[in-house]
């Protein structure tokens, strides 16, 4: 029996007045999700079930940008993306441009387990959700006052440069290793505020925002989705371990600070390996994160090394 470990994130990016005003709410949400996930692993639960459970909890919490509390695109509509991957057999499922589905991460798992496909999007994915008896919610369930105000603010910006300077993004994710040494990763997002309708970020792209392989590691990313896609960040971390033999932390640091150093933007990652080692790397002012390893203690952070 191996060591169990779990790490979660609730997004990374520039600091804001809203984050500082609600830091305790963020920490409470991270604590609850991480504790539930770790307790599940401790009871013998699988890593795949654990990451879905944790992301469900975060999707249901309106403080995070995933599920309820999702960002609004430039039409004032919700477009959610999610993906999940099983490190044991490299199976994966992903969904994009999802509306009204309460828990997109569970729909991504349905795609993985109940179809011959990996990635479904838009109307077809939503129709598929209904065949799986996914819980559907009205538009009003997803739209919080905070996200609506973000949309109103950015929708009135006049230039692309203004939008780049005031980007508002967020994601949730979880990586885990269970008692059998199996790894899994899951990522879910409400997207980028005021993004063009149809924009798809990294959270639903296997290898960019999500990756898991029992031979190397499990990774979930956050930040500017376009950068994680261009850097193929999650898979790059796995490849560094596979081909150089470096440690998990070295692979994360090298990918974020060296391979992606020419990118001007935000990148954060959480990762875990088969031995239960945990790595968290980010180049941002804040990264909402929590983790629990061999000692079983859940640690929660939003900024640097604060307790």
257 lies in some domain = yes
Could you confirm whether 187 is annotated as catalytic?
no
State the pLDDT confidence band at 294, using cuts at 50, 70 and 90.
confident
For residue 144, name the pLDDT band (cuts at 50, 70, 90): confident
pLDDT band at 164 (very low <50, low <70, confident <90, very high): very low
User: Which residue segment(s) compose the domain that 169 sits in?
Assistant: 5-301
Q: What is the pLDDT of residue 168?
A: 56
From the candidates 35, 159, 171, 189, which is the catalytic residue?
171
Average pLDDT over residues 115-119: 98
At residue 115 the predicted structure's pLDDT band, cuts being 50, 70 and 90, is very high
Give 199-236 pLDDT, tens digit per residue.
999 999 999 999 999 999 999 999 999 999 999 999 99
Which pTM was predicted? 0.93
Does some domain include residue 204?
A: yes
Residue 307 makes CB contacts below 8 A (sequence gap 6+) with: none
Total residue count of the chain as it appears in this document? 307
Instruction: Name the domain count of the chain.
Output: 1
Q: Is 112 exposed, middle or buried (0-12, 13-18, 19+ CB in 10 A)?
A: buried
Residue 149 has pLDDT above 90, yes or no: no
Tell me what pLDDT residue 59 has: 97
Q: How far, in Å, CA of 236 to CA of 258, rounded?
A: 12
Residue 307 lies in a domain: no
Mean pLDDT of 159-185: 77
pLDDT surpasses 80 at 177: yes
Region 85-104: mean pLDDT is: 97
> 271 lies in a domain?
yes
pLDDT attached to residue 165: 43
Read off the pLDDT band of 109 (50, 70, 90): very high
Both tokens of 256, joined, read 């974020």
Confidence of residue 306 (pLDDT cuts 50, 70, 90): low
What is the secondary structure of the chain as a DSSP string? ----EEEEEEEEE---HHHHHTHHHHHHHHHHHHHHHHHHHHTT--HHHHHHHHHHHHHT-TTSSSSTT--B-TTS-B-EEEEEEETTTTEEEEEEEE-SBS-HHHHHHHHHHHSS-SEEEHHHHHHHHHHTT--B--HHHH--HHHHHHHHHHHT--SHHHHHHT-----EEEEEE-TT--EEEEEEE---TTPPTT---GGGSBTTTEEE-TTS-EEEEEE-HHHHHHTTHHHHHHHHHHHH---HHHHHHHIIIIITTT--S-EEEEEE-TT--EEEEE-SSEEEEEEE-TT--EEEESSSS--
Q: Does any domain span residue 83?
A: yes
> What span, in angstroms and rounded, lies between the C-alpha atoms of 169 and 179?
34
Q: What is the mean pLDDT of residues 134-159?
A: 77
pLDDT value of residue 151: 66
| pLDDT(167) > 80 | no
> Sorting pLDDT into bands at 50, 70 and 90, what band is 264?
confident
pLDDT at 161 over 80: no
Q: Is residue 13 over pLDDT 70?
A: yes
Task: Work out the pLDDT band at 118, boundaries 50, 70, 90.
Answer: very high
What CATH number did the domain enclosing 160 receive? 3.60.20.30
Q: How far is it, in rounded angstroms, from Cα 115 to Cα 170?
A: 29
């Amino acid at each position: 029996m191996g060591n169990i470990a779990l790490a979660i994130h609730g997004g990374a990016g520039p600091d804001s007045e809203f984050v500082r005003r609600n830091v305790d709410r963020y920490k409470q949400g991270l604590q609850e999700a991480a504790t539930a996930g770790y307790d599940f692993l401790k009871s013998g639960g699988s890593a795949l079930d654990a990451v879905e459970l944790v992301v469900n909890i975060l999707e249901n919490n309106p403080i995070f940008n995933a599920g309820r509390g999702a960002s609004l695109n430039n039409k004032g509509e919700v477009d959610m993306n999610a993906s999940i991957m099983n490190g044991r057999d490299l199976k994966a499922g992903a969904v994009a441009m999802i509306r009204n589905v309460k828990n997109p991460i569970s729909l991504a798992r349905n795609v993985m387990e109940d179809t011959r496909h990996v990635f479904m999007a838009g109307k077809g994915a939503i129709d598929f959700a209904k065949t799986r008896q996914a819980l559907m919610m009205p538009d009003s369930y997803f739209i919080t006052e905070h996200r609506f105000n973000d949309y109103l603010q950015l929708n009135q910006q006049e230039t692309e440069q203004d939008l780049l300077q005031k980007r508002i993004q967020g994601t949730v994710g979880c990586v885990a290793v269970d008692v059998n040494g199996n790894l899994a990763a899951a990522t879910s997002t409400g997207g980028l505020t005021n993004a063009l309708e149809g924009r798809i970020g990294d959270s639903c792209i296997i290898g960019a925002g999500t990756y898991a392989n029992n031979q190397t590691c499990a990774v979930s990313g956050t930040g500017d989705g376009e950068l994680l896609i261009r850097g193929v960040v999650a898979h790059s971390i796995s490849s560094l371990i596979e081909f150089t033999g470096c440690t998990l932390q070295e692979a994360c640091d090298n990918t974020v600070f060296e391979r992606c150093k020419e990118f001007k933007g935000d990148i954060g990652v959480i990762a875990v390996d088969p031995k239960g080692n945990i790595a968290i790397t980010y180049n941002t002012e804040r990264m909402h994160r929590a983790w629990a390893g061999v000692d079983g203690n859940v640690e929660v952070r939003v900024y640097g090394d604060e307790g």
